[in-house]
Amino acid sequence: MTKIKDIPKVDRPRERFLKKGPDALSKSDLLAILLGSGIKGKNVQKLSQQVIQKFGKGFLDISVDDLQKISGIGQAKALQVVSAVSLVKRFYQEEKSNELIIKNSQDVLSLIYDLRDKKKEHLVCLYLNARNGLLKKEVVSVGLLDKTLLHPREIFHPATELNAASVILVHNHPSGDTTPSEKDTQVVEKIAQAGEIMGIPVIDFIIVSENEHYSFCEKLKKTGTDFDYVADGTQATLFDLLEIERPVYEMSVRKVEKHYFQPIQQKAGYFQLQNRRYLGNKHKLLGFIEDIISEKCGKIDSLCDIFSGTGVVGERFNTPEVKIISNDFLYANYVCLNAFLGVSKDILASVANKISHLNNLQSKDDNYFSKHFGGTYFSLENARKIGAIREEIDRIAENEDERSLLICSLLYAVDKVANTVGHYDAFRKKLDTVQPLKLLVPDFDYSRNKNNKVYREDANALIRKITCDVLYIDPPYNSRQYSDAYHLLENLVEWKKPAVVGIGKKMDRSHIKSSYCLKNATQAFEDLIMNAKCNHILLSYNNTGDSKDGRSNARMKDKDILRILNSKGEVEIFEKEYKAFTTGKSNGDDNAERIFYCKVTK
């Protein structure tokens, strides 16, 4: 068998092509160039001759499967050949056919000249195939254009029946002025979005009058009328163009200068709900939140704090007349929320006795807690005591309410003696936090808890089950997982004594990762909002830009937050300068805390 390298160079297909052009080559030579190489025992020329002989005139209808039946042609080569044939056929068809190809707005205008002098408003749709060939032109509606009256079905139902690949819409303004009205723009946005979802993109929306026209595509692309819809092999779509054009802030931001924070009186021997160091806690912003709720929502009858954390926000509005729904997916938070906002009977007297008993507990021996966390997160002595107290709570608590109050008291006490900067991502190198652990009694008026509910659920699951007047949403802003920062408290509350690993002594936390810290945060938020049944939505979300520490960057973009909230109603932003409690590695000290307020109307 002659190998291709044994053929004199001048006779090889490629060399001949370059020297004499394609007409000097036989069909099998041309195919040989496309195939590139043969296989052992069958050089490329032999292989191409075999193909040409086998398929003859049927070559143009050849399929990948047909080709793969020939030894020496695998899937890659078969695809190469069939793609080349299809490409040529496509161009050939376009040139020969009588199909009306719509390349640009001028082609559209030549098709709808009759619309220019109509006395009533019309909306006409051009249905196109993948080559931008016209399949059908149809009047979709007659009369004033209004997004509330026009249903995407009217446009996209015929499109699916016709197997259309895209659509162009044309609308006339009998007044003569082609400037788009607000209603026109709303219709364009709605239809472009529907097209994107249906997979049948809207290429252009053109407004015509007797003497002029306005093409959204040209305006958004900022081109003149010589612009072609398919440029560089890519079809223009209005959805993409609108996405690029949409301004980040569509509404004004209200800056709030007022100073709110007032220290609270503490009673000796007692602790209050806000006496806890917690990342992102809103204690110092309560006045800011309260002012917005009182201005925008008036008298409220229920509030759901769906990412409660410490629960300070729910607590601020907690009265017998207002039902507070609190929720946090961390067990440690749930127990404290229940202790303060769930328990409805005043059991403080018996709890105070038990707390005194716990404080007097002797703890000389090592236990699970001291073995893992003594000498690092806590002094060894405190760690022994924490482990022993935790064990004792399960023994002495007579019911769930008592258990919640006792564990909550322990958690607040633990927080005071932890050798950390306020969270448990790591412990401080120098162990100088040696004050002895002391449990205090909760200071709380339980007569306020009338109809409250406390949950430990994923916010997106809970939202499907509840209704409320005001929904307050305070999700994590960045990629830092709360389950990592508070693993130690979670472990202490659950008390399943799991294996802990690494320097941080963390247990398996894979089941308590929040979507709001991940790439799909926006999707999770959209799902939450779409399923919310409430009258008012308040979202706390900060303005952390791109920081050096990538973990601090906000997960959701303002543009997406606004788009999502806008689908429920009008949005207003309130902004307040604020120095937050961060993890120590602050990303800048000029944070502004913002509340997006949305009055639900849709």
C-alpha 378/C-alpha 422 separation (Å) is: 13
Count CB neighbours of 374 within 10 A. Answer: 20
Closest contact distance (angstroms) between CB of 591 and ligand SAM is 13
Residue (317 or 482) nearer to ligand SAM, CB: 482
Helix (H) or strand (E) holding 256: strand 253-256
201 makes contact with ligand SAM (CB under 6 A): no
- Minimum distance of ligand SAM from residue 275's CB (angstroms): 12
Q: Residue 28 or residue 310: which is nearer to ligand SAM going by CB?
A: 310
Residue owning tokens 């408003």? 121
Nearer to ligand SAM, 138 or 443 (CB): 443
Q: Does 463 bind ligand SAM (CB under 6 A)?
A: no
328 is a site residue for ligand SAM (CB under 6 A): yes
Tell me the residue type at 60: L
Instruction: Label residue 377 exposed, middle or buried (CB < 10 Å: 0-12, 13-18, 19+).
Output: buried
**Binding ligand SAM by CB under 6 A: which of 13, 152, 201, 280?**
280
Min dist. Cβ of residue 475 to ligand SAM (A): 6
- Of the candidate residues 164, 312, 339, 595, the single one contacting ligand SAM (CB under 6 A): 312
Q: Return the DSSP state at 436.
A: P
Nearer Cβ to ligand SAM, position 102 or 454? 454
The SS3 call for residue 283 is helix
Which C-beta is closer to ligand SAM: that of 45 or that of 327? 327
Centroid of chain to Cα 440: 41
Listed residue (187, 118, 111) closest to 149, CA to CA: 187
Closest to ligand SAM by CB, 126 vs 489, is 489
Stretch that binds ligand SAM, among 39-47, 132-140, 279-287, 562-570 (CB under 6 A): 279-287
> What residues have CB less than 8 Å from 328, skipping those under 6 apart?
307, 308, 309, 311, 334, 337, 456
Residue nearest to ligand SAM (CB): 309
Report in angstroms how near the CB of residue 531 gets to ligand SAM at its nearest: 13
Report the Cα 557 to chain-centroid distance in Å.
9
Q: According to CB under 6 A, which one of 459, 492, 493, 537 is a site residue for ligand SAM?
A: 459
- Per CB under 6 A, 516 contacts ligand SAM: yes
| Cα Dmax for the chain | 105
Query: Which CB, 195 or 476, lies closer to ligand SAM?
Result: 476
- The CB-of-270 to ligand SAM minimum distance in angstroms stands at 20
229 binds ligand SAM (CB under 6 A): no
If the CB atoms of residues 152 and 475 are measured against ligand SAM, the closer one turns out to be 475
Task: Enumerate residues 473-492 that contact ligand SAM by CB under 6 A.
Answer: 474-476, 482
Please report how close the Cβ of residue 579 comes to ligand SAM at its closest, in angstroms: 15
Binding residues with ligand SAM: total (CB under 6 A) = 24
Q: Given candidates 28, 45, 310, 382, which one binds ligand SAM under the rule CB under 6 A? A: 310
Contact 279, 482 (CB under 8 A): yes
Distances (CA, A) of 226 to 92, 135, 231, 515: 25, 23, 11, 46
- Please list, in sequence order, all residues whose beta carbon lies within 8 angstroms of the beta carbon of residue 344, skipping any fewer than 6 positions away: 446, 449, 450, 452
CB of 249 to ligand SAM, least distance (A): 23
Q: How far is the CB of 541 from ligand SAM (least distance, A)?
A: 10
- Give the three-state DSSP class for 469: strand
| Secondary structure, 3-state, 498-539 | CCCECCCCECCCHHHCCHHHCCCHHHHHHHHHHCCCEEEEEE
535 touches ligand SAM by CB under 6 A: no
What's the min distance (Å) between Cβ of 231 and ligand SAM? 43
Beta strands in 529-570, from DSSP E residues, in sequence order: 534-540
Based on CB atoms, which residue is closest to ligand SAM, 83 or 467?
467
Q: How many residues does the chain have?
A: 602
Give the integer Cα–Cα distance in Å for 363 and 341: 32
> Binder to ligand SAM among 288, 307, 369, 378 (CB under 6 A)?
307
- Distances 500 to 11, 482, 491 between C-alpha atoms, Å: 73, 17, 9
Answer for which of 16, 213, 282, 505 binds ligand SAM (CB under 6 A) is 282
Q: Is 281 in the site for ligand SAM (CB under 6 A)?
A: yes
Residue 139 φ/ψ, nearest 5 degrees: -80, 120
Smallest gap from residue 328 Cβ to ligand SAM (A): 5
Instruction: Give the contacts of 597 (CB within 8 A, at least 6 positions apart).
Output: 292, 296, 536, 537, 538, 571, 572, 573, 574
Residues that bind ligand SAM (CB under 6 A): 278, 280-282, 307-310, 312-313, 327-330, 333, 458-459, 474-476, 482, 514-516
